[in-house]
Chains A and B, each alone.
Chain A
């Protein structure tokens, strides 16, 4: 077997393994640890066939967004809580400046 063909077989085997990962993940409930992601990242190599890198990136992207989504939901909840807390507050208009501009009612300034 020439080196070229051997490399090709190796790549096909590798590709099969990579493509199996999503199924394995599904069996595990779709969970992947941060360490697992880093391991996948280590597989990325410019010398790989573009298709291999494509699949790797897809998996990493998918699961990375899952991880960051969890962080974002927590952050979002906190910010949302604080920024809607003053929901019933009235808008405070500066009466001095309104006088200066000759405005009595901001919603009917021309009256």
Chain B
């Protein structure tokens, strides 16, 4: 065949492939936009068809039943972490508890502590994490049980590795962890589609959880369907979806979130939440977590509480080998003694260095 003809054929094949790809992209974009349009239309139609005069027996009966169920659940409210939170944090279904702190103030520790306390109380716990891999969450809980610090992973012995392995099995009886690469699909817990699909499957599933922990809010920041969405748009969509979900799922939801310290002194709590602040509107209780490592304690300031007068109150918990414990006078005394002993050791070391330097 003539070289020129061959060249033309090659180019035409190339443009044909490109054309197909371009068409595929266009089709995907149009379909996504169309789905969004349909959804908006449905929402609008629902909003427009609202019947405020509805007072039929079935509707009132449904409301009464919902109310009764809710109050029963409230009466059986679980205890968030330790006893001092009782009556301050509504730890029962239809509540979203937002626990927010600065980076390093203990989001993952809080997640492990809630899981630890709840599985010991015969509850089934679901951790949805985009911060860690699933095995890290299990290992953190195991470390709480064993009193190990979960850092410097390279220093763990073979024996410790075996214990971690054994406890993944033991803990999994009551603790389920879904991470970002669950089902080998990256984005399970960091994309709006992954999270929405998960909430949907939770509603359909026969397996019911008593507590759901989401670690953490700001990492839900992208969309696979609409890559153009900004993180705040994704977070807004998620917060709205979660708000609806909490009304129908039979478990409290704990959302861990990050605060920013930029200009913190002049900003109210809501404005210090990184990313879209709407999560504050949908939560029924908001706690600011402030770790005070030197004093072996954590301060939990109640920033919002829909059901109690606890707003503005600070609850203290002791910090014992990674575990949040009651901040009892005994704990305070032992923490003080430990702090003083550490300071003495530090002084001794400094003296030794000075003596060596002088010699």
Q: CB within 8 Å of B: which residues of A?
A: 76, 78-80, 82-87, 89-94, 97-98, 100-103, 106-110
Contact = CB atoms under 8 A, between A and B. Distances in A.
Give the 4 A-B residue pairs with the shortest CB-CB distance, closest first.
A110-B147, A84-B87, A83-B74, A94-B122
Nearest to A90: B83
Interface string B301-344: 00000111100000000001101011000000000000000000
A106 B121 CA distance: 10
Contacts of B170: 100-101
Contact of A80 (B307, B321, B326): B307
A90 B117 CA distance: 13
B240 to A, nearest CB: 20
19 contacts: A76-B307, A79-B70, A83-B74, A83-B87, A83-B92, A83-B308, A86-B86, A91-B79, A91-B121, A94-B120, A94-B122, A97-B119, A101-B167, A102-B145, A103-B145, A106-B117, A108-B320, A109-B147, A110-B146
Contacts, number: 76
Given A87-B87, A110-B146, A110-B147, A82 B71 contact: yes
A98 B120 contact: yes
A97 B145 CA distance: 13
Contacts of A102: 145
Interface of B: 70-71, 74-77, 79, 83, 86-87, 90, 92, 117, 119-122, 144-147, 167, 170-171, 173-174, 306-309, 320-321, 323, 325-326
Contacts of A83: 74-75, 77, 87, 90, 92, 307-308
B29 to A, nearest CB: 32
A83 B326 CA distance: 20
A82 B307 CA distance: 10
B75 A91 contact: no
